[in-house]
């Protein structure tokens, strides 16, 4: 529906400049006595024949004489509107004329004048409309950004500030919000008998509404858990209250478990949340328990199950941001991949790091995180490797401005992060590989453009006696072109002048590290360098 708003001049003799055409624009009201004006809105249906007529005849017409079966023309006839303002085939306004006070017809000169006026006025009015529209859009963008800030703030105040400190247990959590989504939360509840409740939940929807539902759900869960012990009963109670509070079409998936740290006994119930995994000495087991998401229907019952964590076992709670992450080929990370990764990883302390590295390798460097990623792990200490490293739980990331010689900055930073995790000789090799990869990124990828830095990430993973590793990724911004293959340079041919003396970079990198992987997308190349921590490759 096209709505043209304007002011209609009444036909009183007292009105000034009675024969001057007036543009229907609210900004002109100041020059016309308000008493002489009646506001009108003219609604034109999208299928009104007038619109087609105007596209073909973008000129003055006289509504009184136009023979068109059009509700809009009928309305104009009453109002006396004659002159359409058309810009790029679109009707954007009308100039409104009443009868001449002399009751004579408008002359052909008058029409010519009006046509000229319309031709000038239409584009100017269009520009004004576009500017107005842009302003509104900017306000809207700012409103959305502001809403997201509020949502994040609400969420940050809700997430636990501290991890449970339980003798004989290692608990870790990781939370990474997506840019435009806020929906996950987790919580720890402490009971007087020493038991600890673990909650991981995901609210459908995003922004402030999701954050408010999150806050409500958290409060309801806490209140229910205070009065009720059984996880199934806590979810049922929360559901019954939430269903009355929650906006339509929103719901909350939630896994709730109560751990007895003294025995490793874990009771749990699930309201439609992604099924957690229990890593045992015999393999990885799903913690299945059926139940509908919270907030959909009242009177739901929740299955309650139990298990016991033996020394060395861990349980991973997580949200769909991990398993539903996509790679550039639109493949999904998926549950089978997660389960098989868990089966290779026994150390809960480094689990998040390991999974995030695998996620990064899966999605590639250009990934824009689609949904919040939440990970909560509880591990019973005991049978795991006692020589655990203190691992930097996030990759150390930095940028190196693209300029000749700056690869030495990259070498120095990587050496700083890796420290004595690698024996000196292997650290030298890693440094050389980092230098060569950074040079390639700065020179060939970024063409030494100072505005395009090389980006480096250093990951330290796992314990020294198992499959631990130092992983360095170097990313440029020169994607598209394939990297030259790391062929073995032919020294004889080079000495004979048959081959350029250059071309050693990738060959050297490969020779220096235990593993080298190349990832590429439209914008970037990423070289991934891996050095195993176990010193059996030296």
Partner 1 sequence: MVEKKAVFMAKTKLAEETAVILMLGEINQDTDDALMTAYADAAAMQPAAITLDFSEVDYINSTGIALIVGLLAKARAAHIPLTAVGLSPHYREIFTITRLSDFIQIQ
Write out the residues near partner 1 by the rule CB under 8 A. Answer: 404-405, 407-409, 411-412, 425, 428-429, 432, 435-436, 439, 489, 491, 494-497, 500-505, 507-508, 511
User: Could you give the CA distance from residue 350 to residue 394 in angstroms, rounded to a whole number?
Assistant: 10
Backbone dihedral angles phi then psi of residue 86, each to the nearest 5 degrees? -120, 130
Least distance from partner 1 to the Cβ atom of residue 387, Å = 28
Q: Which is nearer to partner 1, 380 or 525 (CB)?
A: 525
Secondary structure (3-state) at 86: strand
Q: Which is nearer to partner 1, 51 or 427 (CB)?
A: 427
Tokens 């690698």 appear where?
Answer: 422
User: Could you give the CA distance from residue 501 to residue 262 in angstroms, rounded to a whole number?
Assistant: 67
Least distance from partner 1 to the Cβ atom of residue 229, Å = 57
Q: Which is nearer to partner 1, 200 or 435 (CB)?
A: 435
Least distance from partner 1 to the Cβ atom of residue 396, Å = 15
403: nearest Cα among 451, 456, 450, 454: 450
Q: Which is nearer to partner 1, 336 or 404 (CB)?
A: 404
Q: How far is CA 495 from CA 225, 320, 487, 506, in A?
A: 78, 57, 17, 19
Q: Which is nearer to partner 1, 42 or 409 (CB)?
A: 409
- List strands edge to edge, sheet with 184-190: 184-190, 196-203, 252-260, 265-271, 305-308
Least distance from partner 1 to the Cβ atom of residue 489, Å = 7
Least distance from partner 1 to the Cβ atom of residue 338, Å = 39
Q: Which is nearer to partner 1, 46 or 404 (CB)?
A: 404
Q: Which is nearer to partner 1, 153 or 491 (CB)?
A: 491
Pairing of strands 90-96, 305-308: unpaired
Least distance from partner 1 to the Cβ atom of residue 375, Å = 34
Q: Which is nearer to partner 1, 84 or 505 (CB)?
A: 505
Secondary structure (3-state) at 133: helix
Taking the CA atoms of residue 419, residue 421, residue 426 and residue 428 in that order, the dihedral angle to the nearest 10 degrees is 0
Q: Tokens standing for 294? A: 């919270």
314: nearest Cα among 467, 187, 191, 173: 173
Q: Tokens standing for 478? A: 């020169």
Tokens 């999701």 appear where?
Answer: 210
Q: How far is CA 473 from CA 92, 284, 456, in A?
A: 55, 30, 6
Least distance from partner 1 to the Cβ atom of residue 501, Å = 4
Contact status, residue 367 vs residue 333, Cβ threshold 8 Å: no
Q: Which is nearer to partner 1, 215 or 508 (CB)?
A: 508
Least distance from partner 1 to the Cβ atom of residue 304, Å = 57
Q: If residue 419 lies in a helix (H) or strand (E), which one and from where to where?
A: none
Other Cβ atoms closer than 10 A to 152 = 15
Least distance from partner 1 to the Cβ atom of residue 432, Å = 7
207: nearest Cα among 250, 242, 161, 271: 250
Q: How far is CA 387 from CA 173, 228, 468, in A?
A: 22, 41, 12
Least distance from partner 1 to the Cβ atom of residue 480, Å = 23
User: Could you give the CA distance from residue 174 to residue 90 in angstroms, rounded to a whole number?
Assistant: 53
Q: Which is nearer to partner 1, 418 or 439 (CB)?
A: 439
Q: If residue 346 lies in a helix (H) or strand (E), which one and from where to where?
A: none
Q: Where are the beta strands (DSSP E) in 56-153?
A: 81-87, 90-96
Secondary structure (3-state) at 526: strand
Q: Which is nearer to partner 1, 189 or 434 (CB)?
A: 434
Least distance from partner 1 to the Cβ atom of residue 458, Å = 16
Q: Tokens standing for 128? A: 């004004």
Q: Which is nearer to partner 1, 246 or 439 (CB)?
A: 439
User: Could you give the CA distance from residue 139 to residue 122 in angstroms, rounded to a whole number?
Assistant: 26
Least distance from partner 1 to the Cβ atom of residue 517, Å = 20
Q: Which is nearer to partner 1, 265 or 494 (CB)?
A: 494
User: Could you give the CA distance from residue 66 to residue 233 in angstroms, rounded to a whole number?
Assistant: 74
Least distance from partner 1 to the Cβ atom of residue 504, Å = 4
User: Could you give the CA distance from residue 195 to residue 193 in angstroms, rounded to a whole number?
Assistant: 6
């Amino acid at each position: 529906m096209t709505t043209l708003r304007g002011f209609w001049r009444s036909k009183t003799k007292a009105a000034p400049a009675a024969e001057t055409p007036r543009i229907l624009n609210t900004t002109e009201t100041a020059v016309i006595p308000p008493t002489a004006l009646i506001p009108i809105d003219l609604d034109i249906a999208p299928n009104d024949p007038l619109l087609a007529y105007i596209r073909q005849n973008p000129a003055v017409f006289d509504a009184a004489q136009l023979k068109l079966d059009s509700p809009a023309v009928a309305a104009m006839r009453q109002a006396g509107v004659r002159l359409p303002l058309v810009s790029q085939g679109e009707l954007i306004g009308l100039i409104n004329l009443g009868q001449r006070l002399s009751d004579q017809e408008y002359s052909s000169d008058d029409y010519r004048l009006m046509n000229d006026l319309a031709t000038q006025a239409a584009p100017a009015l269009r520009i004004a409309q576009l500017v107005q529209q842009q302003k509104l859009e900017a306000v809207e963008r700012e409103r959305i950004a502001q809403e997201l800030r509020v949502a994040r703030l609400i969420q940050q105040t809700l997430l636990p500030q501290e991890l449970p400190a339980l003798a004989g247990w290692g608990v870790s959590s990781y939370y990474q919000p997506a840019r435009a989504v806020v929906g996950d939360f987790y919580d720890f509840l402490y009971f007087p008998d020493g038991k600890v409740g673990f909650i991981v939940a995901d609210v459908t929807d995003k922004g402030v509404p999701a954050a408010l539902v999150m806050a409500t759900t958290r409060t309801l869960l806490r209140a229910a858990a205070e009065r009720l012990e059984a996880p199934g009963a806590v979810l049922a109670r929360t559901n019954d209250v939430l269903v009355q509070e929650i906006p339509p079409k929103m719901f909350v998936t939630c896994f709730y478990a109560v751990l007895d740290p003294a025995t490793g006994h874990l009771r749990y119930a699930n309201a439609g949340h992604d099924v957690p995994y229990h890593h045992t000495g015999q393999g990885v087991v799903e913690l299945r328990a059926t139940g509908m998401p919270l907030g959909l229907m009242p009177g739901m019952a929740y299955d309650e199950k139990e298990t016991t964590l033996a020394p060395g076992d861990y349980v991973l709670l997580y949200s769909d941001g991990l398993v539903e992450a996509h790679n550039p080929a639109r493949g999904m990370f998926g549950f089978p991949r997660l389960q098989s990764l868990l089966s290779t990883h026994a150390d809960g302390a480094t689990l998040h790091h390991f999974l995030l590295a695998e996620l990064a390798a899966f999605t590639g460097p250009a990934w824009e995180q689609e949904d919040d990623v939440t990970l909560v792990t509880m591990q019973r200490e005991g049978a795991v490797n006692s020589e655990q490293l203190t691992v930097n739980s996030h990759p150390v990331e930095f940028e190196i401005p693209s300029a000749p010689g700056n690869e030495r900055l990259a070498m120095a930073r990587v050496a700083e992060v890796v420290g004595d995790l690698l024996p000196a000789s292997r650290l030298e090799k890693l440094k050389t590989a980092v230098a060569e990869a950074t040079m390639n990124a700065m020179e060939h990828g970024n063409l030494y453009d100072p505005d395009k830095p090389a980006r480096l990430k250093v990951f330290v993973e796992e314990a020294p006696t198992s499959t631990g590793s130092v992983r360095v990724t170097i990313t440029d911004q020169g994607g598209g072109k394939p990297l030259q293959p790391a062929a073995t340079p032919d020294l004889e041919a080079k000495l004979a002048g048959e081959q350029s003396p250059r071309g050693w970079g990738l060959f050297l990198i490969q020779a220096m590290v235990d593993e080298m992987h190349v990832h590429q997308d439209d914008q970037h190349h990423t070289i991934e360098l891996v050095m195993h921590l176990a010193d059996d490759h030296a």
